[in-house]
């Protein structure tokens, strides 16, 4: 709920318009299997607190003339107090009886009010109301999508399913060793892991790395105990990362992303992937990621900036894909926040000469 509120899915005055009965906090909801009645609610809830207060009231509601002290600092004073107590015993007993009867009526009213509160809380748990609001917002969002956009997404899913069914990947299948080329292009493995640590610090699991290379980002995530897995289109790179104990498969980026369950991922990393896919493939990746990420999930795309020498350093990287195109694709599928850091900004966790786009669902 907090993520949706931050993303602007709910009007700022929603709580005021719906009323205080829709306070969206799980603490005041009745837990599954909790017993109804005073004292049986969640510790700290209004029902629990009211039940405890009434129990204390019932224990304290005892009036006795013998509890009235008659002690005095002098022996004569104590005798006088006792004499007054005896003389006024009838009046004192009558007054205490009236106070006791009044206390019984007050306790009865309070128990009646507390019982109503208990039934009201059990009939309308705020958590259930929050879930209904979530479902309503999801449905309205779907209905507001343009028909042509929904048709385009359906076509995208069909094309990716076809790609997966024939098992085609984007691997080059060259005679040269991609592992040695990555070493030449990116530098020593340990240095790249240290670089990716800054990026790993911004991600929450489960993370899916669509082109993990030697597994540098996955290692940085493992150091932070973040659940992560990946894939690479090159069989030798994938085998090297898997042999080091990482959860890595040999598959292309679109197929890998299509296999994930909808709304199941905390982050998707596409590092040096967009160029190999081309403009349409990069847009397809963005649209698929929007389906696979949960609310608040991050899509991170790194690519060589077209105005930097690195854009031409890797002939296997495909055609240059501009940051503007990635931003446009993210906006088309309604990512809530889109942050673009160009190469000259030296984005944390990105390779030199590369831009970094972070889109939050």
Query: Do residue 66 and residue 193 come from a single domain?
Result: no
Residue 75 is predicted with a pLDDT of 60
Structural domains counted in the chain: 2
14 domain-assigned? no
Query: Do residue 110 and residue 252 come from a single domain?
Result: no
CA 273 – CA 261 distance, rounded (Å): 21
317 domain-assigned? yes
The whole-number mean pLDDT for each consecutive block of 10 residues of the chain, a chain of 361 residues, reads 61 55 44 46 61 69 62 61 64 72 74 68 54 62 56 60 49 69 87 93 94 93 95 90 93 91 95 89 93 95 84 77 94 92 87 92 91
Query: Do residue 204 and residue 84 come from a single domain?
Result: no
CA 54 – CA 133 distance, rounded (Å): 35
Query: Do residue 110 and residue 165 come from a single domain?
Result: no
141 domain-assigned? no
Q: Are 36 and 42 in contact (CB under 8 A)?
A: no
Query: Do residue 161 and residue 103 come from a single domain?
Result: no
**Beta bridge mates, 16:** none
Helix (H, G, I), strand (E, B) or coil at 340: strand
155 domain-assigned? yes
Query: Do residue 72 and residue 162 come from a single domain?
Result: no
Residue 170 is predicted with a pLDDT of 43
Q: Are strands 337-341 and 354-360 parallel, antiparallel or unpaired?
A: antiparallel
CA 322 – CA 339 distance, rounded (Å): 14
Query: Do residue 348 and residue 256 come from a single domain?
Result: yes
Query: Do residue 356 and residue 277 come from a single domain?
Result: yes
24 domain-assigned? no
Which of 170, 165, 315, 302 is closest to 235 using CA atoms?
170
CA 96 – CA 83 distance, rounded (Å): 19
Adjacency order of strands within the sheet including 228-232: 248-250, 228-232, 207-209, 265-271, 293-304, 354-360, 337-341
Could you check whether the bond before residue 256 is cis, i.e. omega within 30 degrees of 0? Answer: no
Q: Are 209 and 232 in contact (CB under 8 A)?
A: no
Which of 28, 291, 315, 246 is closest to 149 using CA atoms?
291
Query: Do residue 162 and residue 208 come from a single domain?
Result: yes
CA 75 – CA 203 distance, rounded (Å): 81
CATH of the domain at 217: 3.40.50.150
Query: Do residue 86 and residue 195 come from a single domain?
Result: no
Query: Which parts of 26-125 fold into alpha helices (H)?
Result: 46-60, 75-87, 89-123
Helix (H, G, I), strand (E, B) or coil at 30: coil
136 domain-assigned? no
* pTM, two decimal places: 0.56
Query: Which parts of the chain fold into alpha helices (H)?
Result: 2-7, 14-18, 46-60, 75-87, 89-123, 126-144, 147-165, 178-186, 189-200, 216-223, 235-243, 253-259, 274-292, 323-332
Q: Which structural domain range is residue 43 located in? A: 30-124
CA 310 – CA 189 distance, rounded (Å): 19
310 domain-assigned? yes
φ/ψ of 263, rounded to 5, equals 55, 35
Tokens of 132: 């209904």
CA 218 – CA 269 distance, rounded (Å): 10
Query: Do residue 184 and residue 327 come from a single domain?
Result: yes
Evaluated on CA atoms 339, 342, 343, 344, the torsion sign reads negative
257 domain-assigned? yes
Query: Do residue 176 and residue 279 come from a single domain?
Result: yes
- Which of 124, 157, 192 is the last residue in one of the domains? 124
């Amino acid at each position: 709920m907090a993520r949706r509120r931050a993303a602007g899915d709910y009007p700022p005055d929603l709580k005021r318009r719906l009323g205080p009965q829709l306070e969206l906090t799980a603490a005041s909801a009745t837990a599954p299997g909790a017993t109804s009645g005073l004292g049986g609610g969640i510790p700290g809830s209004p029902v629990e607190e009211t039940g405890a207060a009434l129990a204390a009231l019932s224990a304290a509601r005892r009036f006795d003339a013998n509890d009235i002290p008659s002690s005095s600092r002098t022996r004569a004073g104590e005798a006088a107090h006792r004499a007054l107590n005896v003389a006024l015993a009838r009046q004192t007993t009558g007054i205490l009886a009236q106070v006791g009867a009044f206390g019984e009526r007050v306790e009865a009213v309070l128990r009646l009010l507390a019982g109503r509160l208990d039934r009201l809380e059990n009939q309308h748990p705020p958590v259930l109301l929050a879930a209904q609001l979530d479902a309503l917002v999801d449905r309205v969002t779907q209905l507001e999508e343009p028909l042509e956009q929904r048709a385009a997404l359906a076509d995208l899913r069909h094309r990716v399913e076809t790609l997966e069914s024939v098992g085609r990947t984007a691997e080059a299948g060259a005679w040269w060793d991609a592992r040695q080329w990555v070493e030449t292009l990116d530098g020593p493995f340990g240095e790249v892991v240290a670089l990716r640590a800054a990026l790993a610090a911004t991600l929450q699991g489960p993370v899916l790395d669509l082109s993990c290379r030697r597994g540098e980002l996955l290692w940085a995530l493992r150091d932070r105990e973040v659940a992560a897995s990946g894939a690479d289109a090159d069989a030798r790179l994938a085998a090297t990362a898997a042999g080091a104990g990482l959860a890595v498969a040999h598959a292309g980026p679109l197929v890998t992303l299509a296999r994930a369950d909808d709304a199941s991922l905390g982050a998707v990393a596409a590092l040096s992937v967009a160029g190999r896919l081309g403009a349409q493939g990069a847009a397809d990746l963005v649209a698929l990621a929007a389906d696979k990420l949960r609310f608040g999930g991050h899509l991170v795309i790194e690519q060589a900036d077209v105005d930097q020498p690195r854009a031409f350093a890797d002939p296997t990287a495909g055609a240059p894909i501009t940051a503007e195109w990635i931003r446009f694709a993210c906006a088309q599928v309604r990512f809530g926040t889109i942050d673009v850091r160009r190469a000259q900004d030296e984005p944390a966790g990105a390779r030199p000469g590369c831009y970094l786009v972070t889109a939050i669902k």
